[in-house]
Amino acid sequence: MDSLIDYTVQVSGDYALQIRDVRYKSGNNFFYRIRIGELPYLDTIFPLGGKRDTESTVSVTGRNLGSIKSIQMSISPDAPLGNQELRVVNANGTSTNPHVFVAGNLKETLEKEPNNAADQANSIEIPAVINGRINPQKDIDCFSLQVSPMTRLIFEVNAQRLGSQLDAFLSLFDSKGEQLTVNDDVIGAEARIDFSFPQKGKYVISIRDLNNQGGTNFPYRLSIAPLRPDFGLTVIPENPRVTRGGTTNLTVSINRIDEFREAISLYFSGFPQDFDVSPVLISPDQTQTQVTITAPKSADLGLIKTMAWGRGSIHHNLVERNSTPIYMTVIDHPKYTLEATDLSIHVVQGKSVELHVLAIREEKFNKLINLSVVGLPANMSASNTSIPKGENHAVITLAAANFGQGRIGLDLVTRLPSAGTHQIVVNGTALVNQPYPNEAQFLVNNETHAQSAIAIPLIIAEAPFVLNVAPVKQSFLFPKSTNTNNPVEINAEIIIDVVRQGGFTDKIDLFP
């Protein structure tokens, strides 16, 4: 979290500002940027979002905003759904810090006071998003809704994720005032209720702060709607770098909303035609994948604005969702590039497999290259491997199993990665001496240069069976033998648990 100091100077004079890492760490990557001055700062906005293709008046509070109390928002019909950045520009033309503002596609309504009790509840037509504020302390907002029988509704608060101080507490009541369910937090400090109504009638949902706090900085968005399967995309990093002729990797996370369980095809817009983007089909059970971008050796230096797009099926209709813009910088030729010489990797659960890596070095570059693998599923690991100084090849061992203790700590449990296809990427880092731009006489020692190999599919096949053994360790105390011709014997029991998979029913031979 970034630091902020708001200080009113009382006496003219010289002042000193100190900045350090909170743990006193340092390094080439510990860079920072400080803004100092009579800068505008945005603390709170209300409402925290609006419906696409609508106009919205947003009240703003903060520091050094001058006479600005509100701004007029025009949300375009094709604005990306989800979190956007809102900034305010003061009379001097200086922009504030960003504040999250949500663009939605449901009907939006504002709470109306008084609504502190069930008999004062605001009537709501569902589906809808309610924009409200818990103000003052001990405030309670109540909303009533008519529900048909066998209806399943999701009540979800979005507050702290949008910069609010509200720690929301939701309560659901029937028409007789009987409490049906409550929730404090499901997503961080955000409350969420998933409820199936057995019969039609009038119901009341109330929201308050868990600790009965409140104020202008306690706004919220409460969405009330049936399950609406959907998905969103997030790409990290947002500002990647790629070298001419080199490859970089991006991590794409999929936010599967309201039980969306469909495959997603992924592509990128904005790249020149001679850029190579690894193909990706995200399976229904995956929430993250790896993508690699390879730039041609003749790529123009500078900035490229691109965006990730996902195509999926919702209720048998093809839909597309996009990420926020990504700004990729193309820089000069790398000191080395990497290639995975295997076009794909196949492994059975519980087994290991080798992945071969080749480094193509620039002349005179012979430094050690450390390797890592990203995109591996849970319960799968890669060996610590590097390409030694002056060499060009390395072999990484991928193990498709993880062994850990069971519940009582004495048995060894085999944990296997899920069968399926995953995109994996080999990343390399090397320390090099790099001249400052236009000042070749100066060197930056040990600057890290990163490269990636093009993503390849890792295909994990299901094992026919898995063995678990208990206990893992046994100790035996043998009495002293008095007869060498008749040694002492002790019986011990080892329990072997067999988990059969994929309909496997054949005989299993066991041996030490």
Tell me, yes or no, whether 457 lies in a domain: yes
Tell whether 221 and 245 lie within a shared domain: no
Residue range 154-164, pLDDT digits in tens:
999 999 999 99
Q: Are residues 341 and 449 in the same domain?
A: yes
Same-domain pairing of 140 and 221: yes
Domain holding 124: CATH number? 2.60.120.380
Residue with token string 């039980």: 259
Q: Which long-range contacts (CB under 8 A, 24 or more apart) does 298-301 make?
A: 298/244, 298/274, 299/242, 299/244, 299/245, 299/272, 299/274, 299/275, 299/330, 300/330, 301/244, 301/330, 301/331, 301/332
The residue range of the domain holding 267 is 231-331
Asked whether residue 78 is assigned to any structural domain, the reply reads no
Instruction: Tell me the backbone φ, ψ of residue 496, rounded to 5 degrees.
Output: -115, 120
Co-location of 203 and 216 in the same domain: yes
Q: How many domains does the chain have?
A: 3
Of the two residues 131 and 497, the one the predictor is more confident about is 131
Query: CA torsion sign, 308 to 312 to 318 to 324?
Result: negative
Regarding predicted confidence, which is higher, 433 or 333?
Answer: 333
The share of the chain scoring above pLDDT 90, in percent, equals 69
- Average model confidence (pLDDT) for the chain? 89
Q: Which of 152, 146, 168 is nearest to 221 (CA)?
A: 168
Q: Angle CA(270)–CA(276)–CA(282) in degrees, nearest 5?
A: 85
The pLDDT tens digits of the residues spanning 54-106 come to: 999 999 999 999 999 999 999 999 888 888 999 999 988 999 999 999 999 99
Decide if pLDDT at 120 tops 60.
yes
pLDDT of 494 over the 90 cut: no
Output DSSP code: residue 121. P
Q: End of a domain among 206, 225, 244?
A: 225
End residue of a domain, out of 225, 242, 259: 225
Q: Distance between CA atoms of 317 and 315, rounded to whole angstroms? A: 5
Query: Residue 432 — pLDDT band, cuts 50, 70, 90?
Result: confident
Q: Each residue of 423-443: b (16+ CB within 10 Å) or e?
A: bbbbbbebebeeeeeeeeeee
Distance of CA 378 to the CA centre of its chain: 15
pLDDT digits (tens, 9 = 90+) for 242-257: 999 999 999 999 989 8
* Bridge partners, residue 398, by sequence: 353, 382
Same domain, 214 and 326: no
Tell me, yes or no, whether 290 and 392 share the same domain: no
Residues 208 and 186 in one domain: yes
Strands (DSSP E) along 211-325, which ranges?
219-225, 230-236, 241-243, 247-257, 264-269, 276-277, 280-282, 288-294, 302-314, 317-322
The model carries a pTM of: 0.64
Give the lowest-confidence range in 138-142, 314-318, 452-456.
314-318
Residues 241 and 217 in one domain: no
Say if residues 290 and 250 touch (Cβ distance below 8 Å).
Answer: yes
Give Cα 102 to chain centroid, integer Å.
18
Residues 342 and 456 in one domain: yes
Q: How far is CA 271 from the centre of its chain?
A: 24
Identify the band that residue 129 occupies on the pLDDT scale cut at 50, 70 and 90.
very high
The predicted pLDDT at position 474 comes to: 65
Chosen domain end from 434, 461, 488: 461
